[in-house]
Amino acid sequence: MTDAAAINIMSLSEAARKSLLDSYYSETGSEYSVGRVPMASCDFSTHVYSYDETPGDFDLKDFKLTTEDLDMKIPLLKQAQATAKAPLKIFGSVWTAPAWLKTSGRENTSGQLIGQAGDKYHKTWAQYFVKFVQSYEAQNVSIWGLTTQNEPIDGYIPMFPFQALGFTPASQRDFIAKDLGPALAAANLQHLKLIIMDDQRFLLPNWADTVLADDTAAGFVDGIGVHWYFDGLTPASVLTKTHNRHPDKFILSTEACQGSGIGQHKVILGDWSRGESYAQDIIENLQNWVGGWVDWNLALNTEGGPNWAKNQVDSPIIVNATADEFYKQPMYYALAHFRYSSLTGS
């Protein structure tokens, strides 16, 4: 549930909005059971923001959810949960820390946390995760899990064009062991599923090996997140290799979309090749120990946005707010197909 998806869904009339959510969450629809919500802004927002813009606020006294959460994402997540027959597994993913915690001093580009694991910058960042979960649960939205960072290698790409925060396998290991894991445990949130990496599978198995070699870090970790971009560079067998090395950790595909490649059309209505690519990737993942597959945006407009960084892509549902209608793409039907063959817990 990105800001962009929420904006598009909320742009529809009440009846059309209900029909769209039914298409995804009801027993007559795809019966989605897992979903991701960004922690503050990402590129699929209309502007860049974090939950605490006060420099030096190491106690996070000014931490607060935004109108994007309170007026759009949270109401829609509640409606989705009311539509679904079983509790939704919602996990949070973060794109950037507040600028005052980053080496670059900017939220809208690359950079890492200032300092090193165990210091006040890292402990403040760990508390940011805690406050996110507590704030959402105060609004009666249960959080099932967290990824430690969306695409952490982006934070090392010079002049990266949108929100990012860099971690290496070693720095992520240390952050989990010294800061994030203990912070979640101290807040009685150790039941949350903590997912490492959340990046491309060409980083496996090294990323998982490095983080999980540390017994303290491994004790806090439940799963490994993978994105589908650049899958052509690395065979799916690396997923099985990773599973065999770490059989007690699940693997979850946490992001995929079409139209993201250089020179690709962003939105192509009715393109079955894009639906076929989804189906092929899901099958390949399921054959290699991946337990779930999460799409990127629930709904985008006819231009593939909004996206403040002009990084538009395609989506299984495209909204035409002017006509108060939405279009189910072949990608939607490819995803819905697996409702009948891959039931939760099967």
CB 121 within 8 Å of CB 114? yes
Q: What is the mean pLDDT of residues 217-223?
A: 98
Q: What is the mean pLDDT of residues 201-221?
A: 98
Q: Are strands 223-227 and 250-255 parallel, antiparallel or unpaired?
A: parallel
Strand (E) positions, 205-273? Answer: 223-227, 250-255
Per-residue model confidence as pLDDT tens digits over 41-65: 999 999 999 999 999 999 999 999 9
Residue 239, amino acid: L
CB 68 within 8 Å of CB 45? yes
Residue 164 has pLDDT above 90, yes or no: yes
The predicted model scores a pTM of: 0.97
Catalytic site residue from 151, 276, 284, 303: 151
Q: What is the mean pLDDT of residues 145-155?
A: 98
pLDDT band at 263 (very low <50, low <70, confident <90, very high): confident
Residue 341 has pLDDT above 90, yes or no: no
Please state the separation of Cα 253 from the chain's center in Å.
10
Per-residue model confidence as pLDDT tens digits over 70-128: 999 999 999 999 999 999 999 999 999 999 999 999 999 999 999 999 999 999 999 99
Average pLDDT across the chain, whole number: 97
Residue 230 has pLDDT above 90, yes or no: yes
As a whole-number percent, the residues of the chain with pLDDT over 90 amount to 97
Residue 342 has pLDDT above 80, yes or no: no
What distances in angstroms separate CA 54 from CA 61, 100, 248, 272, one per listed residue?
9, 8, 40, 47
Residue 262 has pLDDT above 90, yes or no: no
Per-residue model confidence as pLDDT tens digits over 81-95: 999 999 999 999 999
Q: What is the mean pLDDT of residues 121-149?
A: 98
Catalytic site residue from 31, 68, 107, 255: 255
Residue 346 has pLDDT above 90, yes or no: no
Please state the separation of Cα 6 from the chain's center in Å.
14
Per-residue model confidence as pLDDT tens digits over 2-14: 999 999 999 999 9
Query: 215: phi > 0 → left, psi -120 to 50 → alpha, else beta; which?
Result: alpha
Residue 339 has pLDDT above 90, yes or no: no
How open is the CA angle 114-194-308, to the nearest 5 degrees?
60
pLDDT band at 18 (very low <50, low <70, confident <90, very high): very high
Q: Quick check: is 27 catalytic? A: no
Q: Quick check: is 255 catalytic? A: yes
Q: What are the residues facing 319 on neighbouring strands?
A: 301, 326
Residue 344 has pLDDT above 90, yes or no: no
